[in-house]
């Protein structure tokens, strides 16, 4: 085997440093959210079921379920964007209504809108709860609820900013490169992560009475 072939083989099989770094960083983020879950369940155990039931009934579970469904589906649209990036298709090749011909930009734009809908829904829910008297300082339940969901909301907002950066950079670039495709894939890792974390938060906060 020639030296050129060996070099090419190593380029193909060598792990991408950006992707590996992102996975390591997400592992630290996982520990952060694990700590939030520990705080939530510890506070719940200390306060007892009565305090939890008094505040838990204020939550609009059907609305939160719709909001959650939108966020979960955004992971699907995000992954379609990744598939487009992997085949180096950065924009649509047909009409806008021809979804099967969408490129990375279209799928990521739809994902951004769905994520923005989720954040908007969370803000609406916060306003409703504050109107009902549940605030960050009103009860222990209010404190852990707003801290846990608020930090997640900040992470979702960070993902939205990342989508915007990717979309703008790709739209201004003369050609779609492997580096830009890698960036899209890394952003998808982050987005899938925040979606999975929210499923766990939704189950713990809204479903487990």
Structural domains for the chain: 17-207 (1.20.120.80)
Roughly what angle, to the nearest 10 degrees, separates helices 178-202 and 104-131?
30
Query: Which pLDDT belongs to residue 17?
Result: 66
Query: Which pLDDT belongs to residue 177?
Result: 81
- Cα(110)–Cα(70) distance, integer angstroms: 11
Predicted TM-score (pTM) of this structure: 0.84
- Cα(177)–Cα(100) distance, integer angstroms: 22
Query: Which pLDDT belongs to residue 18?
Result: 64
- Cα(109)–Cα(168) distance, integer angstroms: 10
Q: What is the mean pLDDT of each run of 10 residues along the chain (209 residues)?
A: 41 56 77 87 78 80 96 96 89 82 92 97 95 87 92 95 93 82 90 95 88
């Amino acid at each position: 085997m020639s030296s050129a072939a060996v070099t090419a083989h190593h380029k193909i099989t060598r792990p991408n440093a950006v992707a590996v770094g992102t996975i390591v960083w997400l592992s630290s983020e996982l520990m952060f959210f694990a700590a939030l879950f520990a705080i939530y369940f510890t506070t719940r155990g200390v306060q007892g079921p009565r305090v939890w039931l008094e505040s838990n009934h204020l939550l609009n579970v059907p609305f939160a379920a719709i909001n959650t469904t939108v966020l979960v589906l955004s992971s699907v649209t995000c992954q379609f964007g990744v598939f487009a990036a992997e085949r180096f298709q950065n924009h649509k090749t047909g009409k806008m209504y021809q979804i099967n011909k969408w490129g990375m930009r279209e799928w990521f734009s739809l994902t951004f809108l769905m994520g923005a809908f989720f954040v908007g829904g969370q803000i609406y829910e916060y306003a409703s709860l504050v109107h009902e008297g549940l605030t960050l300082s009103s009860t222990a339940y209010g404190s852990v609820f707003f801290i846990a969901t608020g930090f997640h909301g900040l992470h979702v907002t960070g993902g939205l900013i990342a989508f915007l950066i990717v979309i703008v950079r790709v739209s201004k670039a003369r050609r779609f490169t492997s580096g830009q495709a890698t960036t899209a894939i890394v952003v998808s890792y982050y987005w899938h992560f925040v979606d999975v974390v929210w499923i766990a938060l939704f189950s713990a906060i809204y479903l487990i009475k």
